[in-house]
Amino acid sequence: MTSKSSRWLGWSSVVLLSVTAVMGLWVTPPDVVQGDLVRLLYVHPALAWVALYVSFGTAVVAAGLYLWPRTRSEQMDRVSYCAMEISVVFIALTLVTGSIWGRPTWGVWWAWDARLTSTAILGVFEVAYLALRRANDDPDTRARRSGVFVILTAVNVPIIHFSVIWWKTLHQGASVLTSTGSLNVHGSMLWTMLISFVGFTTLFFWFLVRRVALESARGARQHAALDAALEMRRREGVG
Amino acid sequence: MIRVAWLVAMKDLRIEMRSRVLLWQVVPFAVLSLVLAGLALGPEKAGSSSSAPGLFYLVVLFVALAVVQRSRGLESTPGTRASVATLGLDPAGVFLGKSLALTLELWVLGVTLLGGSVLFLHIALVGALKALPNVAVTLGVMATAGTLYGALTTGGDGPVTLLPLLTLPAFVPLLVAGERSLSAALYGGPLWEWWVIVVVALVAYAAVGIAVYGVLEES
């Protein structure tokens, strides 16, 4: 991706998230039940969407493409790694914003709720993934093991998604769309949520593009350093 | 694949029989952990607590980690993996064999710990016997998952600390399902739904292990 397109992504996310902030804080009315607390919900579900589906989903697909011999390339491993790294940040933000909302609503910062717990477990898995990557120096070993680990971890996503249906928990069910397809949210509230979803998704892709570029540059520098070292040894041998 | 699995399982079990590490190190560690769990509750509560199933599985979890670590350790001596690779054994068979050996070792520990729970945590013997098949399957899943996650850590930096970090989150559903099923067996309640979870997990881990173990061992 060119730096122009990347810049376009960056500015789009800034504009969309600014619009979300203005609409969420000033344009939308307070909720009948939750009052001003509802404003946090213009951010929290969008963060969760990016953490669980967009970011983690990208990591799983890229890992699968790396493990599939026909599509195996260093770039796929890089995309998977970078998406996972970004997902860690978004999961942390999801848990923090959820906790801030939960304290006045449920009376506690943390509840042993199925969705909270399963999301936190996915967060631990993601941190474990980062540790696993750092434990292996060989690029091929690292990529294979990380790829398999990401695929194994993917089973958590449906558990998190359906946790509010499978278990009777504190966490509410579907926020925007009900299981029958009808809308739960309307008017400016709905628009703010949608803009927030698009804004955070755009932000994720901007982060991803920049992070993958950085990782590619690092890889190229390592290759160059290795080539230089080999060349030096070769000259020593000849000399 | 079955023949390779049998050979690998026998090899691992023979090493265990000769070294007696399970008998002289892991079993005492398991019993000690159970006693510590009881003491953590307090001597008055330890014998009458409904937390006994949770404590049992918590101890099982940490002991299982030690056994998985030990199982991977068998392959970590220099040249062992390369030697196994040159034999051209079917990786799926190696995975199943290691899982089988680990399952049998965990069963020994599971029975010891259930006996220990009857003694120290005063759980009902009848309830413990009723829970035995479910405990056996849960331990089988732990062995299968442990073999798979163990392969991810071999040869890397800090495998001793990395393995718990990778494995424990995967054991969480097993801890929950195991605790619920043991509670159901001891204090009443439906057992079948916890059976479903552990059986599905067993099949899933076995299928994934058979499919990807070769990829992990190649690296």
Quick check: B219 and A134 CB within 8 A? Answer: no
Q: Check if A32 contacts B (Cβ < 8 Å).
A: no
A121: closest CA of chain B, how far (Å): 6
C-beta of residue B29 within 8 angstroms of C-beta of residue B63:
yes
C-beta of residue B197 within 8 angstroms of C-beta of residue B173:
yes
pLDDT at A175: 66
A50: closest CA of chain B, how far (Å): 22
**How far apart are alpha carbons B51 and B46 in whole angstroms?**
8
Q: Check if A148 contacts B (Cβ < 8 Å).
A: yes
Instruction: Give the tens place of pLDDT for each residue, B63-92.
Output: 999 999 888 877 766 676 677 777 778 888
With CA atoms as reference, the chain B residue closest to A123 would be B169
pLDDT at A88: 96
Neighbour-count burial for B24-45, b at 16+ CB within 10 Å, e otherwise: eebbebbbebbbebbeebeeee
Q: Check if A144 contacts B (Cβ < 8 Å).
A: yes
Half-sphere exposure of A48 (CA within 13 A, CB side): 23
**How far apart are alpha carbons B121 and A110 in whole angstroms?**
30
Is the pLDDT confidence value at A14 over 80? yes
Q: A183 - beta bridge partners? A: A177
Neighbour-count burial for A75-106, b at 16+ CB within 10 Å, e otherwise: ebbbbbbbbbbbbbbbbbbbbebbbebbeebe
C-beta of residue B134 within 8 angstroms of C-beta of residue B181:
yes
Strand runs labelled E in chain A? none
Under DSSP, the state recorded for B158 is -
State mean pLDDT over A201-227.
Answer: 92
Contacts of B152 (CB under 8 A, 6+ apart): A132, A145, A148, A149, B166, B216
Task: Report residue A43's pLDDT band, with 50, 70 and 90 as the boundaries.
Answer: very high
Least CB–CB distance from A124: residue in B148, B169, B219: B169
Angle of helix A139-153 relative to helix B125-153, nearest 10 degrees, comes to 150
**How far apart are alpha carbons A200 and A36 in whole angstroms?**
21
**CA-CA-CA-CA torsion for A75, A79, A80, A82, nearest 10 degrees?**
130
Least CB–CB distance from A148: residue in B155, B156, B216: B216
Say which residue, B52 or A16, is predicted with more confidence.
A16
Is the pLDDT confidence value at A2 over 70? no
Instruction: Give the tens place of pLDDT for each residue, A102-157.
Output: 999 889 999 888 889 999 999 999 999 999 998 887 888 899 999 999 998 988 88
Candidates B166, B171, B216, B217, partner chain A, best to mutate (most A CBs within 10 A): B166
Triad A140, A144, A145: Cα angle to 5°:
115
pLDDT at B47: 74
Least CB–CB distance from B219: residue in A127, A131, A145: A145
C-beta of residue B205 within 8 angstroms of C-beta of residue B103:
no
Structure tokens at A12: 């789009």
pLDDT at B88: 76
Domains and CATH numbers, chain A: 3-214 (1.20.120)
Instruction: Give the tens place of pLDDT for each residue, A65-100.
Output: 999 989 999 999 999 999 999 999 999 999 999 999
C-beta of residue A192 within 8 angstroms of C-beta of residue A41:
no
Least CB–CB distance from A132: residue in B162, B212, B219: B162
**How far apart are alpha carbons B182 and B85 in whole angstroms?**
41
Is the pLDDT confidence value at A39 over 70? yes
Residue A146's Cβ-count burial label (10 Å; 0-12, 13-18, 19+) is buried
Structure tokens at A113: 């709720």
State mean pLDDT over A14-32.
Answer: 93
pLDDT at B81: 67
Alpha helices (H) in chain B, listed in sequence order: 2-19, 21, 27-41, 43-46, 52-73, 80-86, 91-120, 125-153, 159-187, 192-218
**How far apart are alpha carbons A111 and A96 in whole angstroms?**
13
**How far apart are alpha carbons A228 and B9 in whole angstroms?**
47
Q: Look at chain B and count its residues.
A: 219
For chain B, list residues with pLDDT below 50. none
**How far apart are alpha carbons A5 and A1 in whole angstroms?**
7
Least CB–CB distance from B169: residue in A67, A128, A137: A128
Q: Check if A152 contacts B (Cβ < 8 Å).
A: yes
Q: A31 - beta bridge partners? A: A35
In 3D, which of A17, A35, A44, A25 has the Cα closest to residue A188? A25
Cβ count near B87 (within 10 Å): 9
**How far apart are alpha carbons A77 and A146 in whole angstroms?**
8
pLDDT at A239: 65
**How far apart are alpha carbons A181 and A175 in whole angstroms?**
12
Structure tokens at B185: 């067996």
Say which residue, B94 or A1, is predicted with more confidence.
B94
Residue-averaged pLDDT of chain A:
89
A84: closest CA of chain B, how far (Å): 15
Quick check: A135 and B159 CB within 8 A? Answer: yes
pLDDT at A150: 94
